[in-house]
Structure 1
Amino acid sequence: MEYRNDFLNYLDSDMSLKILMCLDDPADLVRVTCVSRSLRQSVIANGLCKKLCLRMFPQLSRVAFVVELDQQRAKELADIESSYSMEWLVLMREHRVYAYLGRALMSTVAMNCIAKTLGASSTDNDPQESIDNTLEPRDNINGTYSYWSSNGQSNPNVPETLTYGLVSQICVITEINIQPFQAHFQTGSPIYSAKSVRFKMGHPKAFLDSLDEEMCVWTYTSPEFPMSQENRLQKFKLPEPVLCIGGILQIELLGRVQRQEMDDLLYICVSHVQVLGGSLSPPFNVDILHPSGMFVLKRDQLANRQSVVTSGNEFQEILADQRGPRDIQQMMIMRRGNLVEIMEDEWDDEEYEIDDLDPEDAL
């Protein structure tokens, strides 16, 4: 600490990279960039924030490139970074976008992410038994039953699908909950559940006013989950959180178990559907590139500045556009041993050296 030397100077590049890749929190990688210029260059040049986001959410492998939407900020950065190569500018932009994205992915607030219904593979009596009824948590409203019903089938293996539009084109989904419908108005109060369920997420092949399943690209398909013949909200937690890019979720209802006495046909009925997760919009959005299915990841810097992220009693997000290149004391604030979480935009390399740091602030 007396000489304040950078430990990377004593390691070969492969070893230092292995050490940095052990970090599993984007905020930690951002903190590393505040310690020294060589550390900052190593994190950016190796795209560590991007690699960490890809480990967390493999769906990001379909990103073609990233865009920042704040034109005024982009002009300011261009003035500062005019001496840099185009390749380095691209790396710095990706570092900024993925650093913010990583923080957003780890701090989304749980909510019901369904925005609207898009359609059902079949409906027995429309609109009385429409998929729209599955948005209502109650199965009885003012004496009227509220549920979706499929058409009747003699073959128990005929599947059904329910398709929904999510609250934004980029959401993190963790759990889907489904409540089968129990027909108390029929003899024996039968429950019309499916044998099992499976979930798909994706986007349309092109902009459409109405959705046809064949016009969708499914970028994620879940394992199959067994479903109970019980009148309760059944919870299906995904093995890992999934990034839904394109804002479409489809529920596959597989296998029929309950016959209707009056026509001896098999039906599936659902009273309520819940999709739990979080939206990354408005700070982030996507444009799907047709027909490749790749997408552009867009970050709205203005939306980032307008949102204040807090953790605990005293933590606040500090944005780089609120400080100058040498405001190290603003970047690293110690409050009773607690380090403020910094989501870092870039500062001028030429004006930043490790010697500017006080050792206690840097570590």
Structure 2
Amino acid sequence: MGSSMDFFKWLDPDMSMKILMCLDDPSDLVRVSSVSRFWRHFVIVNGLCKQLCLRMFPQLSRVASVVELNKHETKENAEVGSSYLMEWEALQRDHRVYAYLARASISSTIGDCISEAYGASSTDNYPEESIDNTLEPRDIVAQRASYWSSKGQSNPDLSETLLYKLVYDFCVINEIKIQPFQAFFQMGYPIYSAKSVRFKMGHPKTSTDVKGDLMCKSSHVSADDQFIWTYTSQEYPMAQENHLQKFKLPEPVLCIGGVLQIQLLGRVQKQEMDGLFYICVSHVQVVGQSLSPAFGVEILKPSGKFVLKNDRLLHCLTQSSLSDKEPNAVSADYLQRRVRDLQHIVNFFQGNLEVMGPLEWDGEEDEGDFEEE
């Protein structure tokens, strides 16, 4: 590589951007930025890690600023004035935080992300049929069936909502699981499912909303007036079956604020004894990855924008960070293979199509801090 030509320097910036925007793995972007000073500068100045995160999570468009906590600032020599140095340090900070965020979102442990139940739009018999029962993994508790039940309605088109607090204010949600309740103690063993479901994620408008009226789980919850929803899913049909039904989101969703609302749309089952329609749920699970405490948010009210915070110390303690996987040097063979792969992409965009084998970007974790001579 010592005497090789850097072909990226011969491309116009737009072509270079098209090539590098093809990379959808944060590790590859870190590797690219480790090839040379020129490549590193290009990746950072154009905010490629940020753009990757925005493609992964459009909810990040609400980010107003980025903050690194517990970061030991080191000043570098700058050839121009201090304003340039401050701007360059800000770009480097954004590069680091978004690179860590992208990597954490695909490498964190997947699990149940519900912390507690806030409340339901209605409850038939409180507390025996409270929303709290939907977090109980057992079907029977104290010799009683464990489930939440809405109040009965004569109109089958009326909907209900369930409101939950997630484990942290910054989570990536992959799917939601819901099990309708089957009343084995009623004639015919009816299943009180909804016709369909929809999901919303967001945060409270003020810090006191949730801790007030919403904590009264027996009362009606009108969450739309008290929350800002940053994501609303499509509508999913629900089967009238007594099992844990999976509703997988089209793409992983970044929940900013840690609040999930489940909308149960329409009713299908009438209770024989009173002739009213009910919706009943046995279990609810939210499958995803927590990005906290290494990442956090500060909501800027009333705009709804937020400050993205990264605690680098906690990041290093809780998971293998990108910087831990960057050796001090990269083998010449490794770099040559990466350059050859990029040259294939250049030829493609320039219209020089050729038969090519599979790319050799095999996901090795041998990124480095190589600098061109």
Q: Provide TM-score, normalisation by structure 1.
A: 0.86
- Counterpart residue number, 1:149: 149
Q: How does 1:239-278 map to 2 (within 5 A)?
A: 239-278=250-289
Task: Give the counterpart letter for 1:274 in structure 2.
Answer: Q
Is residue 169–residue 255 contact of structure 2 (8 Å, CA) maintained in 1?
yes
Task: Give the counterpart letter for 1:195 in structure 2.
Answer: K
Query: 1:262-305: per-residue Cα shift (whole Å, max 9, x none)?
Result: 11111100000000011001111111110000000000010122
- Counterpart residue number, 1:194: 194
- Counterpart residue number, 2:350: none
1:2, distance to aligned residue in structure 2 (A): 5.5
Q: How does 1:126-137 map to 2 (within 5 A)?
A: 126-137=126-137
Is residue 103–residue 322 contact of structure 2 (8 Å, CA) maintained in 1?
no
Paired with 1:233 and 1:338, the residues of 2 have a C-alpha distance of: 35
Query: 1:307-358: per-residue Cα shift (whole Å, max 9, x none)?
Result: 342xxxxxx85449xxxxxxx962537999973255x8xx8xxxx8401xxx
Task: Give the counterpart letter for 1:17 in structure 2.
Answer: M
1:107, distance to aligned residue in structure 2 (A): 1.3
Q: Does 1:230 align with 2:241?
A: yes
Is residue 120–residue 160 contact of structure 1 (8 Å, CA) maintained in 2?
yes
- Secondary structure of 2:99 counterpart: helix
Gaps of 5+ in 2: 215-221, 335-361
- Counterpart residue number, 1:340: 365
- Counterpart residue number, 1:296: 307
The correspondence for 2:318, drawn from 301, 307, 310, is: 307
- Counterpart residue number, 2:182: 182
Is residue 200–residue 218 contact of structure 1 (8 Å, CA) maintained in 2?
yes
The correspondence for 2:372, drawn from 354, 359, 362, is: 354
- Counterpart residue number, 1:99: 99
Distance 1:93 1:256, change over 3 A: same
Is residue 181–residue 192 contact of structure 1 (8 Å, CA) maintained in 2?
yes
Distance 1:80 1:151, change over 3 A: farther
- Counterpart residue number, 1:14: 14
Is residue 108–residue 277 contact of structure 1 (8 Å, CA) maintained in 2?
no
Q: Does 1:161 align with 2:161?
A: yes
Paired with 2:96 and 2:322, the residues of 1 have a C-alpha distance of: 14
User: Which shows bigger deviation, 5-14 or 229-238?
Assistant: 5-14
Paired with 1:272 and 1:301, the residues of 2 have a C-alpha distance of: 36
Is residue 183–residue 189 contact of structure 2 (8 Å, CA) maintained in 1?
yes
Is residue 27–residue 341 contact of structure 1 (8 Å, CA) maintained in 2?
no
Query: 1:7-38: per-residue Cα shift (whole Å, max 9, x none)?
Result: 22221222122211111111111111111111
Q: Does 1:32 align with 2:50?
A: no
Distance 1:334 1:250, change over 3 A: farther
Paired with 1:338 and 1:64, the residues of 2 have a C-alpha distance of: 32
1:142, distance to aligned residue in structure 2 (A): 4.0
- Counterpart residue number, 1:325: none
Gaps of 5+ in 1: 310-315, 321-327, 356-363
Q: Provide TM-score, normalisation by structure 2.
A: 0.84
- Secondary structure of 2:24 counterpart: coil
Distance 1:335 1:319, change over 3 A: farther
Task: Give the counterpart letter for 1:40 in structure 2.
Answer: R
Query: 1:150-199: per-residue Cα shift (whole Å, max 9, x none)?
Result: 00000111110000000100100010000001111111111111111010
- Secondary structure of 1:273 counterpart: strand
CA RMSD of aligned residues (A): 2.3
Distance 1:240 1:159, change over 3 A: same
Distance 1:218 1:262, change over 3 A: same
- Counterpart residue number, 2:342: none
- Residue correspondences, number: 332
User: Which shows bigger deviation, 86-95 or 60-69?
Assistant: 86-95
- Counterpart residue number, 1:120: 120
Task: Give the counterpart letter for 1:271 in structure 2.
Answer: S
Paired with 2:9 and 2:272, the residues of 1 have a C-alpha distance of: 79
Query: 1:61-87: per-residue Cα shift (whole Å, max 9, x none)?
Result: 00001000014x13xx24677965322
Task: Give the counterpart letter for 1:234 in structure 2.
Answer: Q
Identical positions, percent: 61
- Secondary structure of 1:354 counterpart: coil
Paired with 1:88 and 1:6, the residues of 2 have a C-alpha distance of: 23
Runs of 4+ in 1 over 3 A off after TM superposition: 78-84, 316-320, 331-339
Distance 1:297 1:142, change over 3 A: same
Paired with 2:269 and 2:97, the residues of 1 have a C-alpha distance of: 50
